[in-house]
Structure 1
Amino acid sequence: MSRNYLILGASSDVGIELIKEINNNEETSTIWAHYCSNSKLIRSIAERNGNSIIPIAANFSDLNDVKKLCLKINDSQRLPLSIVHLPAPKLLYVKFKELDWEDCISDVNIQVRSIFQLLQFFLPRISKMDQRAKIVFMLSENTINPPAKFTTKYTMSKYMLLGLMKSLVVEYAGKNVNINALSPSMIDTKLLSEIDRRMLDFCGALDNILAPQDVALSLWKLLSVHSDNMNGENVLFSGTSNEI
Structure 2
Amino acid sequence: MRLKGMTAIVTGAASGLGEATARRFAEEGARIVVADIDGEKAAEVARQIDASGSTAIALACDITSAAACGDLVARAEDFFGAPIDIFHANAGTSFSTPLGEAEPGRIERTIEINLLGAVFSAQAAMPSLVRSGNGVLLFTSSLQAILGRPARSVYTATKHAITGLVKSLALEFGPQNVRVNAIAPTGIDTPLLRLQLSRVTDDVDARIASMAASLPLGRMPTPRDFTDAAVFLASAEARCITGQTLVVDCGASAGIAEPRPAAS
Normalised to the residue count of structure 2, the TM-score between the two structures is: 0.78
Q: CA contact under 8 A between 1:140 and 1:182: conserved in structure 2?
A: yes
The match for 2:62 is: 59
Distance 1:175 1:81, change over 3 A: same
Query: Which amino acid in 2 is paired with 1:106?
Result: R
Q: CA contact under 8 A between 1:70 and 1:118: conserved in structure 2?
A: no
Q: CA contact under 8 A between 1:7 and 1:84: conserved in structure 2?
A: yes
Distance 1:179 1:64, change over 3 A: closer
- Per-residue CA deviations over 1:105-144 (Å, capped at 9, x if unaligned) read 21122122223223223313422443x1111111111122
Cα distance between partner residues in 2 of 1:189 and 1:33: 19
Higher relative contact order (CA 8 A, sep 6+): 1
Cα distance between partner residues in 1 of 2:115 and 2:164: 10
Residue 80 of structure 1 pairs with residue 84 of structure 2: yes
Residue 68 of structure 1 pairs with residue 79 of structure 2: no
Gapped regions of structure 1 (runs ≥ 5)? none
Q: Highest Rg: 1 or 2?
A: 2
Provide the identity percentage: 18
Distance 1:44 1:173, change over 3 A: closer
Q: CA contact under 8 A between 1:16 and 1:41: conserved in structure 2?
A: no
Residue 152 of structure 1 pairs with residue 153 of structure 2: yes
What's the C-alpha RMSD, in Å, of the aligned pairs?
A: 2.7
Quick one: which of 97, 101, 106 aligns to 2:100? 97
Structure 2 SS opposite 1:168: helix
The match for 2:255 is: none
Cα distance between partner residues in 2 of 1:82 and 1:92: 28
Cα distance between partner residues in 1 of 2:35 and 2:150: 31
Tell me the number of residue pairs that the alignment of Structure 1 and Structure 2 aligns. Answer: 234
Normalised to the residue count of structure 1, the TM-score between the two structures is: 0.83
Q: CA contact under 8 A between 1:15 and 1:216: conserved in structure 2?
A: no
Cα distance between partner residues in 2 of 1:205 and 1:51: 41
Distance 1:63 1:229, change over 3 A: closer
Distance 1:175 1:65, change over 3 A: closer
Gapped regions of structure 2 (runs ≥ 5)? 253-264
Query: Which amino acid in 1 is paired with 2:244?
Result: E
Higher relative helix content: 2
The match for 1:215 is: 226
Cα distance between partner residues in 2 of 1:40 and 1:128: 27
Query: Which amino acid in 1 is paired with 2:127?
Result: P
Residue 6 of structure 1 pairs with residue 9 of structure 2: yes
The match for 1:226 is: 237
* 1:82 Cα offset (Å): 0.6
Quick one: which of 14, 22, 39 aligns to 1:19? 22
